[in-house]
Structure 1
Amino acid sequence: MSSSHLDRRIVSVKPITVPAPDRSVALQVRVTAPSEGRNLPVIVFSHGNAWSLDGYEPLVDRWATAGFVVVQPTHLDSRRNGLGWDDPRFATIWRVRIADLHAVLDGLDGVLVQAGGLETRVDRERVAVVGHSWGAQTAGALLGARVLDADGMPGEDFSHSAVSAGVLIAATGTGDTLTPFAAEHLPFMRPEYSTMTTPALVIAGGRDRSQLSTRGPDWFTDAYHLSPSPKSLLSITEGEHTLGGIAGEMVAETTDEAPDRVALVADAISAYLLDAFELDNVAWTALDSASGAGDGTWSISSK
């Protein structure tokens, strides 16, 4: 990304309340955007377990400097809401998360008005969903992925017509490989990707070993391998679950602090979405061409 992009001024507005009448806690979002520009594409971002609208600044700020309007809801599982594994509401939080993204998309005009007049500056035909970890499964549902029930049958379709592309970072894999704890507390972590038809980029770390699955890092590539094209996969050889610290600088969950890796993830997502939206294919083409010609720290596959 050029220095001119990195020097672009951005603004952030929070909290903005989104209408969600059936929710036990008010749905609030943060909006981060370039201070100038028109026809801006939109990213709706779903955070990982326990995070909030205040996380993932290293990603969000770079996306905004690249010209995106980023909307970040705080999901019900955020640690600031204090819902533990044994809370009776926890079993349905995965559905509430999906409903949150639908509420943001359905109420996007109102959100943009409250964010300082952004409603006249966005391109509503270019909207993406992006998510990390649990947020990746949440975002995947809006791309067409479903959840298998106890009998292995796909559940309902939560896709959203406003979404034309997406990115899944460290997305839950498939199969009956959940650990006993995950099977008891997180039975919805059984996605079905064969119905995920929307174009998407999947990002996986080669050292991401989940405590929720008996499989290794390849578990996080299922969203790519088991979904129909068009899809791309960014594999980061040394990446662990937060891929260098995408949730923030010096946070406890980061086990592989690497600012360059975070910048790669952020810029690859911007490049992929600009290409998917047919706005600019230069950066993504350059990344794709560099794959395999570098030092082996990352690679891109597409189908």
Structure 2
Amino acid sequence: MRASLAAASVLLLTGCSVSLPRPATTSAPPAPAVTSTAPAPAATGRAPRQTFEVDTRQLRLRRGADRPLPVTIWYPDADAGRLPVILFSHGLTGRPGDYAPLLERWASAGFVIAAPVYPHTSGGAERFDALDVVNQPADATYVLTEVLKLDRRAGDALRGRLATDRLAAAGHSAGGITTIGLFSVARDERLDAGIVLAGSALGVGLGFTGPPAPLLFVHGQRDSVVSYASGQAVYASVPWPKAFLTLPDGDHGQSLLRDGNEAFDVVADSTLDFWRWSLYGDADAKRRLPDDAESAGLGRLDDKLG
């Protein structure tokens, strides 16, 4: 598996990170403890309509001596009931803060986002190794397990606030590979849905397995790092409900993920309505997806969500 990654590692190293400025963040003070630990309800069919202010916090995790996994968590600052949890994976040489505009947008709509820094593929890694991507699906599963424990931790700001039965994974580039791995070679059967941003199946294969989970792919047709064709190949192999958002003028990251441009709004709106549908069961959000994708004529959607 490591050998299959070697041929493409140089290409990935040239541009997998979105190279965005990293905004300064501060941890929010702990919220009052929530006493309820009842199981999360089934999807209600209606996602929150309001926009929440967002808090961030840091969680220090470690999966073995060589795998520190510091995690940034974005979450609504108000009690909005139990919230779906999304595990987000960064690209090579990236860090969670690089994706803050998108992740904050998701959190402000009623989701909890947990984004680890992977030990050997992140920007600033002491021992960088692009081939370590194959170990990241296991890291992601570990992080998700530890984050869900906060729902039962006395005094924690997220106690009683996590919908532990509504879970998803998303990632960009090498993080997209990690995400595909969570639905294939390292299937985490707790996951209900996923989003792959400019990803491929390099090193993790196309053997999707486990219970059906809807997947949304987003890819720029001018991506010079992870080819559009490789994203399409993964999409073609998915046996479950799926959709593919093509951005004809999109590159590998900047035009997709940098706030302040129309392409970013297309990605943010489309991914949010996909989450609202797949994790809240909001049928209105699903109906909005084609319009989200084709806003301003910047994208087109292949919709096989059913």
Q: Shorter-chain TM-score: which interval?
A: 0.7 to 0.9
1:204-242 C-alpha deviation (Å, 9 max, x unpaired): 1111122x6xxx522222221122121111111111100
1:68-121 C-alpha deviation (Å, 9 max, x unpaired): 000010001112223245xxxx54x12331121111122123345499421311
Give the conservation status (yes or no) of the 8 Å contact 2:274–2:289: no
Aligned to 1:140: 180
The CA deviation at 1:198 is 2.6
CA shift in 2, pair 1:242/1:234, >3 Å:
same
Equivalent position SS for 1:55 = helix
Equivalent position SS for 1:171 = coil
CA shift in 2, pair 1:5/1:50, >3 Å:
farther
Amino acid at match of 2:220: G
Equivalent position SS for 1:234 = strand
Give the conservation status (yes or no) of the 8 Å contact 1:268–1:284: no
The CA deviation at 1:28 is 0.9
**1:192 and 2:205 matched:** yes
CA shift in 2, pair 1:13/1:272, >3 Å:
same
Aligned to 1:163: 191
Q: Which of 224, 232, 237 is equivalent to 2:248? A: 237
- Superposition map of 1:229-268 within 5 A: 229-244=240-255, 246=257, 259-268=261-270
Equivalent position SS for 1:117 = coil
**1:82 and 2:84 matched:** no
Give the conservation status (yes or no) of the 8 Å contact 2:263–2:298: no
**1:286 and 2:284 matched:** no
- Superposition map of 1:76-155 within 5 A: 76=119, 77-85=121-129, 90-91=130-131, 93-111=132-150, 113=153, 116-144=156-184, 146=185
Q: Which runs of 5+ in 2 are unaligned?
A: 1-48
Normalising by structure 1, report the TM-score. Answer: 0.75
Give the conservation status (yes or no) of the 8 Å contact 1:49–1:133: yes
Give the conservation status (yes or no) of the 8 Å contact 1:42–1:123: yes
Aligned-partner Cα distance in 1 for 2:204–2:215? 15
Q: Which of 28, 45, 53 is equivalent to 1:9? A: 53
Give the conservation status (yes or no) of the 8 Å contact 1:204–1:235: yes
Aligned to 1:44: 87
Aligned to 2:220: 205
The CA deviation at 1:126 is 0.6
Amino acid at match of 1:222: A
Choose between structure 1 and 2 for higher RCO, CA contacts under 8 A separated by at least 6 residues.
2
Give the conservation status (yes or no) of the 8 Å contact 1:19–1:107: no
Give the conservation status (yes or no) of the 8 Å contact 1:18–1:111: no
Give the conservation status (yes or no) of the 8 Å contact 2:150–2:156: no
The runs of at least 4 aligned residues of structure 1 exceeding 4 Å deviation read 111-115, 289-292
The CA deviation at 1:190 is 4.2
CA shift in 2, pair 1:190/1:228, >3 Å:
same
1:266-298 C-alpha deviation (Å, 9 max, x unpaired): 221121121112432223312225666x65421
Q: Give the RMSD, CA atoms, in angstroms.
A: 2.4
Q: Which runs of 5+ in 1 are unaligned?
A: 147-157, 174-188, 250-257
Give the conservation status (yes or no) of the 8 Å contact 1:30–1:73: yes
- Superposition map of 1:59-74 within 5 A: 59-74=102-117
Report the count of equivalent residues: 251
Aligned to 1:33: 75
Percent of aligned pairs sharing the same letter: 24
Aligned-partner Cα distance in 2 for 1:44–1:140? 12
Amino acid at match of 2:300: S
